[in-house]
Amino acid sequence: MGDLSGKVALVTGGASGIGTAVALEFARHGADVAIVDLLVGEAAREVLAAIQDEGVRGLALQGDVADRGRADEVVADVRERLGGLHILATCAGINRDAVIWKMSAEEWDAVIDVDLSGTFHYCQAVAPIFREQRYGKIVTISSINGLRGKVGQVNYAAAKAGVIGLTKALAKELARSHVNVNAVAPGFILTPMTAAMSAEAREAAIGEIPLGQAGTPEDVAALVAFLCTERARHITGEVIKVDGGQYI
């Protein structure tokens, strides 16, 4: 497609699920793509090969997004090895579901640390760079459950609601530097995370969707890529749902 040619993108959580789909969509649009993931094994190598098959440069790095110092190291490494950085997509996320009276402190902390603080760490790491170059695109991944809540997900819903607040505030902070910051809020998407749900829970989620089917990571990736092109240059601070109408 070519409308991201010459750009360098960094995708957190890029070795699986939505992160992989976003990384490959960026590559198809002509961007060089770095992924960072907690587990950089065979899956990450396959993603890296698929990125390079699109005729662009790729880079796979190991990192826990909950580690603030590692975020700075990853961003510096990407800039040194790929020659710059223009796009950040924060796709890393986990869930640890339980009703509040059964949720442990560890389950709360783990989700907040990865889903919310991890998003903050990488946004903070790229913000000075994007301000200085007066250009950048940031897309965070929230969830419709950050907008509506869900039984058994007080940690996840709180983290994803926090991502929305972070996104809106950051969009205001970086607007004068010509940096676009938007959030995408998926509904029920077929990913390794949702594959761990019971069949009954999956059927219930699909039953909420007016379009009658679960979404795919590629459905989300198409919007993320669009938001990083100049066709979306006048869109910032938005939260856009990709949910087949599930939120309605």
Catalytic residue numbers? 156
Cβ–Cβ under 8 Å, residues 103 and 155? yes
Structure tokens belonging to residue 23: 């990384």
CA distances from 195 to 119, 190, 200, 201, 203 (A): 23, 7, 12, 10, 12
Helix crossing, 118-133 with 68-82: angle to 10°?
40
Number of other residues whose CB lies within 10 A of the CB of residue 100: 11
In the block, tokens 């907690």 appear at 38
Helix axes 42-53, 17-28, angle to 10 degrees: 20
